[in-house]
Structure 1
């Protein structure tokens, strides 16, 4: 049975469309179970009905025509109960519903199992027999297993739009929609350009080297050619990326030099392998090593190694890259997008990015945000190899990709784009105005930065300060720890750019899904492991150098604030403060007149929520890191698309935790801010203001939208909305009620409520 299952799944997976897949299912299952009938009914959520989509044994004319309501007959009962129904005499069951068109009156035995994918009932798989008997437990187990195996295949086929080819009385044409993770905000409409690797490393055979000198020359020529490609790409990006981000290409170049991959390949050639085989062996070995690592950041580096290997191979094979034509609005797609691929698209042509693998914290996503290109990452179900040249919509706000959209959807998103552009232009008028409500309540809006391009964008939008400067970014784009002098220059740029406005610098926050190639962290559960303050306290040499660099950078400016991440105990705060005071004393000893900056902590661990009063007595300010706090409170990995529907900013537990932090901090006379995606959500910002947060810190691209909303709703009205919502116990209800309330205030468009219509 295991081999039968495997063969059926493989055959179904290779089917060209959904109808073919369903026909394979009913034929193969009927044969494997030796029954007279096997049928598949698929459920349509819009019509709330089941349609007979494929059958072996029932009247062929009934396929695509027979429908049942969601609770009708044994089919509806299987779906409602979400468990198998096994009957030796189906007609005697009270829910039995005879359908003359199917010709099923001859069949007595009935076994039906639900087809469920991610909690959604997709349909029902049924077998029937003339002989009156109850299917045994092995047969039932087989059908249940088959259903579970096929659920993902059917869901994927439905999402690709294959079901459109089947005419049914109730089923409308489906929108081919794919869920990923939001990499960079914004909406793009364009034509797909699928980037495949320039060469297939896996196809390179092993061969004995006939002439070592010739093979070494071929390798040198190929490496030199790829280095030139890297340099050319870096030059093309030079006017689009700051120097800090361009350092990525320096890392790639060093990977190819004689002390890294280049030397290892030469050693293999000298051992008797031809150049292509030596290259494949070295690259595959490094890829395996990276991919076996649990750390997300290091797994991302496997993609870089693979991309470099393919490019070197393409030159070894003396084949030139196919000339790719980029349409006016290019949506670049690849299984693993690399920064090099991104740089090859002309600046004026790149409209959006889609990556099958990767997360919102990968290098590509970071670069996309710097360039302002709407991006969706981790779209694991997208059939990217079939999309070349097709029209796509990329919704970087919601992490959605639509392929071959209907005209209605195109018209809708075109309108969204036009409204966004017009609204963005209109927002410029309030750039220099304070964020003040109609009833004169004032709340400062700060920004989160990390890339140098963030600084320019933030100042252009009237940011009043920096609530979070991610100091790990300069560490991530290098292949070694930046020196104290290098860090001082980077931090000085930030502090000078915003002076006299405050700049809150978070100490190095690595671990989880943020690691450094030169400082690997391998853990089974990195989000609950060695990260944030835990790393830097274990390595005071890293912490002290960073703090000294911050202090030196603040000389004469005095707008520095230091913030400690991932705090879960008083001991961590006291130990960190001891090191900060030590660094301050060392800088003073060098003769630099540096004031002791305010020191605060991030509340992003549930334990810290219940220790706010104790923490507030020891620090100058507090800031909630909403992204991590939500994922820890709800035990949901925010980068995992499989559980993304469980990640709710408006979960009652989240809202109550936020209110508690504000109340406890204010009782101790300390300010509390919030940074993260929640602060940049205009709808959420209304609630955060009502809760009493002293500042909101967000991505610069959202600042003016948040300001526009808060300038149009009074504080008293916001408090009334908050009070009403805190009575609900369901995140979806809270979100919907909030949007309804704000729509009544005339804010529907800016909240992006329309974009959830499809």
Structure 2
């Protein structure tokens, strides 16, 4: 049964759209259960009716036409109760409703289970049989398991299938949800970024010069065939005749009478060579993957390899044309990289969308520094079909809008104009202090990682750097940077901000930040080997970095060193010993400079409860609210399934933040915060009231936070904090904070636009 489940899920995963996926489900489930009927009803979100979408055993001519309202009939009952309904004789049940001409009169036994994805009832899976009997426990368990396994696949196919089959043809609007990468609104034209030789990432494109495309394909095909013949000749004496015959099979696959001919036919129909090759090869790969015999299933790897080889030649021989970027360019790709951003003129780069990646990936960090609205993790986006289409990027909500209705497009145009007007008004704040109406001063610092951050940060009036991510230069290299390379990088940052303080976090890798040349493969990376744990296990890396920082600080004196992911006192004391040792050794080598202030990041629950003990041993504390929130709530903020449980205003988070601020006060040590919460205007109000001494954020957020705090009194902030600390629900706290922004005339600066 497990093997049957695996095969069905695999086949459904390989389907090209929702309709094909549903057809596979009803056919395979009916065969697996040995029943006479299997059908799927899918909920239409507009009418809220359950539409007859696929069947084996009933009248297929009514597919897409027959439907039942929510709570109507046995299908509606299953959906309403959100649990299986198993009946010996369906017609005798009070909820039974006869559907005209569907052909179920002859079938009495009924078993229906809901298809539920993330609490949303997508539809109902039904099996029926003529014999009057209850389906047994094994049948029910199998169908429930099948439904649970397929729910996510169906949800994905429902989105991408609908987009590809209908929405991309202009039939209606769609919103694809992702993860906010960088705030802001962008409306522009898509340019799809394709990685080298990836069949699944080739964008769809039509061409006029079909003859040139066909010629390019023939040349690439001939080159691969030549490669195969050369390898075949080299291995002729090394392999058995049977094994060697495989090369003839490969040549046959690429022949004009096989796959080669199919690709040529698509090119003649107007598709560009790379897109035609991609479509044909993926179709054949999926065909092999669905085969039951393991030997034949493994041939999918061979077909993929052949297709990739041809694609490589096509891409290598593509005329070296300069990409003509549109005026408002939206870069879209499966996984965007920092290097791709540099290829587009900055004045034309309006927005970014990455199918993979998180808000912590370095392309998102760079986008925030550059002020480019960005959506990450848009996994349901059919990005290869979006070339030259207009889309809306909502970096506030982490959403992409396709084919927006006129009124929706106008709303985003208004928001875009409002953002520009706000940013222009906020320019006047650059040289003004962040000070409340009643004179309470709160310095605003920035988070940086690249030199490109510097100019933008200073333009926005940053008073210092609360977090310099030293891992970013490590991420952009193919090896560990040397001590001297690090010294030069750190010196540039320190000089650029001098005499303003620059807080450098020691190397923080692990979790979702793995170095390509130092991979960390773990089942649970966020609770694994990361941050200070890695560098203490590799003191040679830690010591080189600390020495580079201390050398870079000579003659400037604005360095602060911060230790990430500290979870106990022993880790801190070991790190302090190494830092002091580095300082002594440099003094012996003739280095002149005091030991800089050293601080600890509070980002795990254990550090919250040992905050006073940590504060006694260091010069400052700094809360990393992003990690602290996810660890307190046991929620991976980059996981879309639980993203709605990640809430910065959860009462547990606020109480933890208050404890850390109090610990710093008790020990006479300054406490800062450098997570996303610090850059959220309404979050900044609470941090002000709690007594945080410094807020550090991305440069784009700084003017909005400054404007908000300059329009409020410290006394009012404390009153609101007292109110929300008595609340027990994150949603209620958010409503109260939103109300404060409205009361103060600051609603346009709130986080959610």
Matches for 1:155-174 after TM superposition, within 5 Å = 155-160=155-160, 162=162
The residue aligned with 1:228 is none
The residue aligned with 1:570 is 569
Alpha-carbon distance in 1 for matches of 2:574, 2:678: 30
Per mean C-alpha deviation after superposition, the further-off stretch among 671-680 and 401-410 is 401-410
Q: Are 2:152 and 1:152 aligned?
A: yes
For 1:725-750, what per-residue CA distance to the aligned partner results, in whole angstroms no more than 9, with x for missing partners? Answer: 23333333332342233233322222
The structure-2 alpha-carbon separation of the partners of 1:193 and 1:546, relative to structure 1 and needing over 3 Å to count, comes to: closer
TM-score normalised to the size of structure 2?
Answer: 0.77
Alpha-carbon distance in 2 for matches of 1:312, 1:99: 54
The structure-2 alpha-carbon separation of the partners of 1:753 and 1:519, relative to structure 1 and needing over 3 Å to count, comes to: closer
The answer (yes or no) to whether the contact 2:682–2:751 under 8 Å persists in 1 is no
The structure-2 alpha-carbon separation of the partners of 1:728 and 1:398, relative to structure 1 and needing over 3 Å to count, comes to: same
The residue aligned with 2:179 is 181
The structure-2 alpha-carbon separation of the partners of 1:175 and 1:201, relative to structure 1 and needing over 3 Å to count, comes to: closer
Alpha-carbon distance in 2 for matches of 1:481, 1:7: 44
Alpha-carbon distance in 1 for matches of 2:180, 2:13: 28
* Displacement of 1:429: 1.4
The answer (yes or no) to whether the contact 2:369–2:456 under 8 Å persists in 1 is no
The residue aligned with 1:285 is none
Alpha-carbon distance in 1 for matches of 2:48, 2:198: 46
The answer (yes or no) to whether the contact 1:566–1:603 under 8 Å persists in 2 is yes
Alpha-carbon distance in 2 for matches of 1:166, 1:191: 20
State the SS of the aligned residue for 2:188: strand
The residue aligned with 1:553 is 552
The residue aligned with 1:300 is none
The answer (yes or no) to whether the contact 2:68–2:76 under 8 Å persists in 1 is no
Alpha-carbon distance in 2 for matches of 1:491, 1:581: 19
* Displacement of 1:579: 2.3
What residue ranges of structure 2 are gaps of 5+ in the alignment? 201-220, 235-304
Matches for 1:200-211 after TM superposition, within 5 Å = 206-208=228-230
The residue aligned with 1:748 is 747
Q: Are 2:195 and 1:194 aligned?
A: no
State the SS of the aligned residue for 1:683: helix
Matches for 1:83-232 after TM superposition, within 5 Å = 83-93=83-93, 96=95, 98=97, 108-160=108-160, 162=162, 175-197=173-195, 199=197, 206-208=228-230
The residue aligned with 2:712 is 713
The residue aligned with 1:373 is 372
* Displacement of 1:624: 0.5
Q: How many aligned residue pairs are there?
A: 652
State the SS of the aligned residue for 1:701: coil
TM-score normalised to the size of structure 1?
Answer: 0.77
* Displacement of 1:5: 6.1
* Displacement of 1:353: 2.4
The structure-2 alpha-carbon separation of the partners of 1:59 and 1:473, relative to structure 1 and needing over 3 Å to count, comes to: closer
* Displacement of 1:392: 1.7
Matches for 1:573-652 after TM superposition, within 5 Å = 573-652=572-651
* Displacement of 1:138: 3.8
The answer (yes or no) to whether the contact 1:331–1:354 under 8 Å persists in 2 is yes
For 1:97-121, what per-residue CA distance to the aligned partner results, in whole angstroms no more than 9, with x for missing partners? Answer: 5366577676543211111112322
Alpha-carbon distance in 2 for matches of 1:486, 1:34: 68
State the SS of the aligned residue for 1:678: helix
Alpha-carbon distance in 2 for matches of 1:138, 1:488: 66
The residue aligned with 2:537 is 538
* Displacement of 1:155: 1.6
The residue aligned with 2:495 is 496
The answer (yes or no) to whether the contact 1:159–1:175 under 8 Å persists in 2 is no
The answer (yes or no) to whether the contact 1:563–1:602 under 8 Å persists in 2 is yes
Alpha-carbon distance in 1 for matches of 2:618, 2:442: 22
* Displacement of 1:658: 0.8
* Displacement of 1:672: 0.9
Per mean C-alpha deviation after superposition, the further-off stretch among 102-111 and 444-453 is 102-111
State the SS of the aligned residue for 1:617: helix
For 1:22-68, what per-residue CA distance to the aligned partner results, in whole angstroms no more than 9, with x for missing partners? Answer: 46655665676565654433345676664555566379669556442
State the SS of the aligned residue for 1:373: coil
Matches for 1:7-22 after TM superposition, within 5 Å = 18=18, 22=22
Alpha-carbon distance in 1 for matches of 2:519, 2:636: 21
Matches for 1:290-689 after TM superposition, within 5 Å = 313-314=312-313, 318-320=317-319, 325-689=324-688
Alpha-carbon distance in 1 for matches of 2:559, 2:10: 59
State the SS of the aligned residue for 1:126: strand
* Displacement of 1:455: 1.4
For 1:681-726, what per-residue CA distance to the aligned partner results, in whole angstroms no more than 9, with x for missing partners? Answer: 1121122222221111111110011111112222232223223323
Alpha-carbon distance in 1 for matches of 2:314, 2:75: 59
* Displacement of 1:588: 3.1
The answer (yes or no) to whether the contact 1:64–1:166 under 8 Å persists in 2 is no
Per mean C-alpha deviation after superposition, the further-off stretch among 127-136 and 646-655 is 127-136
* Displacement of 1:500: 2.5
The answer (yes or no) to whether the contact 2:68–2:75 under 8 Å persists in 1 is no
Alpha-carbon distance in 2 for matches of 1:208, 1:17: 40
State the SS of the aligned residue for 2:489: helix
* Displacement of 1:342: 3.9
Alpha-carbon distance in 2 for matches of 1:744, 1:101: 58
Alpha-carbon distance in 2 for matches of 1:163, 1:498: 48
State the SS of the aligned residue for 1:594: coil
The residue aligned with 2:289 is none
Alpha-carbon distance in 1 for matches of 2:506, 2:14: 50
The answer (yes or no) to whether the contact 2:90–2:96 under 8 Å persists in 1 is no
The answer (yes or no) to whether the contact 1:158–1:176 under 8 Å persists in 2 is no
Per mean C-alpha deviation after superposition, the further-off stretch among 52-61 and 147-156 is 52-61
The answer (yes or no) to whether the contact 2:163–2:382 under 8 Å persists in 1 is no
State the SS of the aligned residue for 2:664: helix
The residue aligned with 1:260 is none
The answer (yes or no) to whether the contact 1:161–1:174 under 8 Å persists in 2 is no
